[in-house]
Structure 1
Amino acid sequence: MKTVFILLLTGLSCLLNRSKAQDKRPNIVLILVDDLGFSDIEPYGGTDFHTPNLTELAQQGTRFQEFYNNSICAPTRATLLTGQYAHRAGMGYFNVNLGLPAYQGFLNHESRTLAEILQGAGYSTIISGKWHVGDDKDQWPAQRGFERSFNFVGGASNFYEINDPENPTVPLYRNNKAFYLPKNRYLTDEITDQAIGFLREQAQDKKPFFLYLAFNAPHWPLQAPEEETQKYNGVYQQGWDSLRVKRYENALQKGVFPKGQMIAAKDSSVQEWNKLTYDEQQYWQRRQQVFAAMIDRVDQSIGKVRQTLKELKEDKNTIIIFLSDNGAQGGERNRIYTSRNTETVGLPGSYDIQNSSWSQTGNSPLRSYKDNPYEGGIGSPFIVWYPKEVKANVVKRGTGHLIDIAPTLYDFAQAKYPSKEGDLTTNPLPGISLRQLLHTDKNQVDRQAPLFWERAGNKAVRYGKWKLVSLFKEGNKPQLYNIDEDRGENRDLADQYPEIVKDLEARYTIWAKENGVVDYRRLKPTGQFR
């Protein structure tokens, strides 16, 4: 009997090992960058940047003209990680718990994370980079399904000397234990190398893997290795006005912006480049050089990850997705952080931010900036690479949204999203799988339901060709745009089509109620947490 039992165990072990070896489900690398504008990479018109790895992914993969995020950091991450609208996941607001389910400031457990679902489906799960969807330890990545984790939990960080044992400023954690960045170590490089180390580790698991690679670049402060910054000497002499138009022309030529459509109107608050003094132009060129260097370093990092996949013989069976959490940053934060700015732009000790001047170029040809429901705030570059199934060098209309990523990945991974987890009833997924769109000649998502946004009282609805926008600071007066003909949002048609405005407002009201959205006037006293 004992011999039979041992034979059974041996047979079971062989069966399990064989099943792992035969598991051909794709690995997943999900790359999120921070505050990158629509045309801030070469495949979307930013030919002033050196991004050969992203260019190759685009040439060998599929890009969307229209892919939407949530206009700002944490709400985007909440939706990306759960497949839920941010309010449904508990992240209608962030960095503070407002005592309401939709505004608790961390992910609720009814919204299951990508890591939890994929881990349950037999995947190894890894995060390296920025978290920003829960500050307390029980809300960290390791507690939400990530088996291997390197991260900081908040929304921003210096890129050099961010912490040390004597004076931690932005805590870093590796598998829930404090980690101290070596002196002169650049954070983007550490995020990359930690991810690569985890990939090599997990190779022993003999399972497919999910890597969430969440760079904090090119978010402020503008800091980059000087050798990268120097590569862009002279590139930005032309200034933001002419480069903004050049990016538009490039986007048209590459097919990522619809032919025949006009660039968004110029932001009147941005000073004309030719009216700046020579010294001012030199200063602003330097800022854009550093910003470009940050993106350049991210591209190099993506190349290192891809090389690691080749060495592990996993490159041909890995899906890579690239996107940004929101559009480029508007405004000017330097006045808040003047006391921190003790060095030349880009060097350790500096604390400069990308502002409206260059960000209008970064979001070209779209309108407006991060934290705003216009296309420049919510429109993201979106690249999917998976040669086994995804068509090469194709640009599709879309229209995709963050809520679609979870069902898409579960489709590829053959992972089931449960309606219940024990006694917990999970939130159903509102998005749809993009898999069919990615591997067929279809150009557009078959979406029956509208898409919705709410952020600090600003609202938007996208339904077919129509987009409704209303801004809190303007009393939420409705604006209506036909995105099929005017993605630059230059012509407000609200007065011409009042019945469409009324219909979209009614749909928004229903969605807001279902997702726990609260009138922002009730939350306004806490506006300092924006």
Structure 2
Amino acid sequence: MNRLGQTPHVLLPILCAIVMTLSSTVATGANDRPNVVFILADDLGYSDLGCTGSDFYQTPNIDTLAVDSVRFDQAYSSPTCSPSRAAIMSGKNPARLGIVGHGGLRSMAGGGDFLVSEEYTLAEALRDVGYTTCHIGKWHVGTKGVTGPQEQGFDEVIASNEFCCPGSYLYPFRDKRKQGKAVERSAVPDLEDRRPGDHLTQCLGEEAVAFLKRQKTSDKPFFLNLWHYAVHTPIQAKPEKVDKYKSLVQPDGHQRNPNYAGLVEHLDDSVGMVLRAIDDLALSENTIVIFFSDNGGEIRKGVTSNYPLRSGKTSLYEGGVRVPLFIRWPGVTRGGERCNEPVVGHDLYPTILRMVGTEGRREQNSKMDGVDITPLLRSPSAKLPSRSLHWLRYGELVHYPTYKNDREFGPCAAIRKGDWKLVERYPTPHGLEHRFELFHLRDDPNEKQNLASNYPEKLEELQRDLTNWQTEIEIPSYMQLAYPAFEKVK
């Protein structure tokens, strides 16, 4: 026996465990953590890519990424952009944050601060463990100087305006036809050196590539948050792309907008630039790539079609909230695999923390609605612990006139539990009635058959669960907050 009172063969496993622990500690140091490139499209519908069913739009670069990634066939977002972005940055359901429309925190009147500074964002969590953080493009969850990307954890901020969209996708990236506050807010900064003929989506790709080149010689890992304005309105593409798709339009096709098709191709070109740069700079073996969209495609005014899914942006039907999600994690994911487990945007925060080997902040984590989906990346056929997904959209005053009596896009709440989905449609002072719609998504993914009268017990169960959730997150009821505001609209 040695002086520790243990025989050498007993001591050996202990020493090995100590060595492994020390090795693990070193391996999770800042220099060894993987880089993260998060590409977020705006308003890109589930069916807007070649790999997800479009026979009109051409997206070879994103399709290739999908083939190299785990593809999530039932990935969800919020129905509009600001709630989705706040959820990604916080790991929380936007309703828990008080965002029940497109208008700010527990407010129907609007406002720019969707994500309060008290939230410990994904960017802050990565920055605090040694990441260089860069945000390029659309933000739309806070105001500059208060809750903009600089204040929410990003070291570099490029081409991020104070609005939902650009004044123009064409240089100088502002609406030259109008004047006023909205024109200034929608103008895209930091690209003054560009030239006539340049497209904003291309420029954002170039800025991303320049950032990657700067990081090539850095000894720190990086988090590149490339949040495109495309394919949100205004629907603008270079003339040569529009002409190309005009010649490809099929009169009986579901998607027939050549201007939108051109804008989708601009997005694909930009993604291709970034993916090629990752390869050319020899970063691919240590760089996670995530591609996601903030909500379903805009179907009004003939912008696009989410067929075979029902409806589109702002709706809680599948076309409004089901979106593409592809994740490539070198050394872990196997290309070409598909996952059918329902996941949602606020899952990405805890997932990224786990992927890079950090824990974040305990207080933030304890209040998250998102869950770590890395088990699905390792084994796409795996199952997550049983849970329900929830949505809550009261609406907002500024857009209310467009849906005050529109049954497809009016205010509503929804819950998905297993294959069942309940949509509660709220009444409006201008004609919409309170009603419930119950769908079985496995048998009816198009949500054509309302089963509310066929399965009263299931209807009651989901109604109860939805009500209990709204009570748990302490959100004012629709009849308290939204209906009185809508009554004042003439």
Q: What residue identity is the alignment partner of 2:318? A: E
Superimposed CA distance per residue, residues 221-256 of structure 1 (whole angstroms, 9 cap, x where no aligned partner):
1101112222223211x22xx323xx9xxxxxxxxx
The answer (yes or no) to whether the contact 1:87–1:516 under 8 Å persists in 2 is no
Specify the alignment match of 1:406 in structure 2: 349
Tell me the CA shift for residue 21 of structure 1. 9.2
Give, in whole Å, the separation in 2 of the partners of 1:20 and 1:416. 11
The answer (yes or no) to whether the contact 2:77–2:322 under 8 Å persists in 1 is yes
Give the match's secondary structure for 1:112.
coil
Specify the alignment match of 1:454 in structure 2: 392
Matches within 5 A, 1:12-411: 23-96=31-104, 105-150=113-158, 151-157=160-166, 158-160=168-170, 161-163=172-174, 169=184, 170-174=186-190, 182-236=195-249, 238-239=250-251, 242-244=252-254, 288-332=257-301, 355=302, 359=304, 362-411=305-354
**Which of 70-79 and 204-213 deviates more?**
204-213
User: Residue 433 in 1 paired to residue 372 in 2?
Assistant: yes
Gaps of 5+ in 1: 1-17, 248-284, 333-354
TM-score by length of 1: 0.76
Give, in whole Å, the separation in 2 of the partners of 1:140 and 1:22. 25
Superimposed CA distance per residue, residues 253-310 of structure 1 (whole angstroms, 9 cap, x where no aligned partner):
xxxxxxxxxxxxxxxxxxxxxxxxxxxxxxxx5xx11111111111111111112212
The answer (yes or no) to whether the contact 1:74–1:133 under 8 Å persists in 2 is yes
Mark the CA change 1:297 to 1:143 in structure 2 (over 3 Å): closer, same or farther.
Answer: same
TM-score by length of 2: 0.81
Tell me the CA shift for residue 444 of structure 1. 5.0
Give, in whole Å, the separation in 1 of the partners of 2:102 and 2:192. 24
User: Residue 468 in 1 paired to residue 437 in 2?
Assistant: no
Tell me the CA shift for residue 495 of structure 1. 0.9
Percent identity reads 29
Tell me the CA shift for residue 20 of structure 1. 9.7
Mark the CA change 1:21 to 1:477 in structure 2 (over 3 Å): closer, same or farther.
Answer: closer
Tell me the CA shift for residue 319 of structure 1. 1.4
The answer (yes or no) to whether the contact 1:458–1:476 under 8 Å persists in 2 is no
Give the match's secondary structure for 1:30.
strand
Give, in whole Å, the separation in 2 of the partners of 1:96 and 1:382. 26
The answer (yes or no) to whether the contact 1:90–1:107 under 8 Å persists in 2 is no
For this pair of structures, how many residues does the alignment match?
A: 433
Specify the alignment match of 1:443 in structure 2: 381
Give, in whole Å, the separation in 2 of the partners of 1:414 and 1:58. 24
Give, in whole Å, the separation in 2 of the partners of 1:22 and 1:514. 38
Q: What residue identity is the alignment partner of 2:207? A: Q
Tell me the CA shift for residue 88 of structure 1. 2.3
Cα-Cα RMSD: 2.8
Tell me the CA shift for residue 439 of structure 1. 1.7
Give, in whole Å, the separation in 2 of the partners of 1:78 and 1:57. 25
Mark the CA change 1:447 to 1:36 in structure 2 (over 3 Å): closer, same or farther.
Answer: same
Specify the alignment match of 1:339 in structure 2: none
Give, in whole Å, the separation in 1 of the partners of 2:362 and 2:330. 32
The answer (yes or no) to whether the contact 1:90–1:108 under 8 Å persists in 2 is no
Q: What residue identity is the alignment partner of 2:169? A: F
Give, in whole Å, the separation in 2 of the partners of 1:23 and 1:58. 28
Gaps of 5+ in 2: 1-25, 395-410
